[in-house]
Structure 1
Amino acid sequence: MNIKATKGDGGNVEASLWIKSARNKGISVHIPSGNGLTNVIRDQRREISAYIPGLAGIPLLEERRSKMIVERLAAAGDANTVLRNVLNLLKNMDINGQNGLSLVRDYVSQIMGEFTLNVEFDEERDSRIRASFQTTPMKVADHRRFKPLELAGIGFLRVIQILSYLVYFRPILLLVDEPDSHLHPTAQEMPIAVLSEAAQLFGTQVILGQPIVRR
């Protein structure tokens, strides 16, 4: 397969690599020596790849964890168990001159409609991260009404998860399993456009585990 990557200096590198089944039923990757991709992979300033698995919900409570633990759990496939932690990290992150959490909110709004996403954690008093949301209909009914994030629909959570991990990690290669699962049919095509926009901004190649059929 061919892969394109962006180097630390902003330049691009394109290379070929081979992926095959290994003897222990795992996967082995072979990159020819002298390949420009090798230096990109070794660059600790950026993730080479990220995988976003399916989502069946998030825990009712989530302890605040260190950045290293959050990234380790996310890399191990436990993405749903640290979603609030990722959102909290994004809240305090500047990405291309824009707040990370605001960027996620803007992307999600393009798919699910305008909404507000709040993440609260006080270093002095809290051990758990609180996250809540408000949609436009909720705001119209009562501007003070917010719901805990764990009460959001699976489709809503799924979109937040995908875009949060894309914005946080900004990997060279992003693999997304069933990006349109649990979404209303009228919204199932939107992730493609938004993912394309975000991927172009971050220089990320996105591979979908399930193609989305355009109607």
Structure 2
Amino acid sequence: MALLSISIQALARFPVPKLVLLDRDGVINQDVGAPGVISKTQFQLHDGVGTAIAKLKQRGCRVVVITNQSCVGMGLLEPNGLNEIHEEMQRLLQEEDAEATLDEIYFCTAVDDDNPRKKPNPGMVIEACSNWNIDASEAVFVGDTLTDMQAAKAGGVANRILVQTGYGFGLMGNQPAQSPPMIVKANNLVESQSQMSIVTPFADTQDLPAAVQWLLHETDT
């Protein structure tokens, strides 16, 4: 059974945000599965993400990354190696578009799920909003996992976008996202998508470029 299509929800829009919080693996780059990207040679951008981030910057948005990197805490990757991966990410983004600059990269290397900064806990979300002096109501979180959406919700970010790159497609029961994106509420979810009910409402989109196009009101509603 496909996700229900309700026109009034498809018309709902988020305001252009002051702060855009992006998950990394599955949103910016291809998710390689456990234990994650542990070498910069594994890091490959999803198509169009550099251009998408540049568009946000051109509209005056702050753009930051919020990522769990427990591979460091498990000893599979040295801190310097993580820095090299993030330098490669920034290089590839700016290679695609010189204006695709990230304002900050927040990462948590903890293995302990009780760590307040580790998603689904909201520590990094709260930290980013505080650091940039931007209220959570003026932010948007773009992620591909349930834990991304949980961290955003717990951090007070009401505007949440799930992309279908990474794990998002499976979380939505392998049902393709609509274009333009749809605001998903709990009563729109079928059984195969029911785990997402705890983080509704959220927008369901194809990928980061589609999310940015919609956020910046570049698509017809």
| TM-score normalised by L of structure 2 | 0.26
Return the structure number with greater strand share: 1
| TM-score normalised by L of structure 1 | 0.27
Which structure is richer in relative contact order (CA contacts within 8 A, separation 6 or more)?
A: 2
- Could you say which structure has the larger radius of gyration? 1
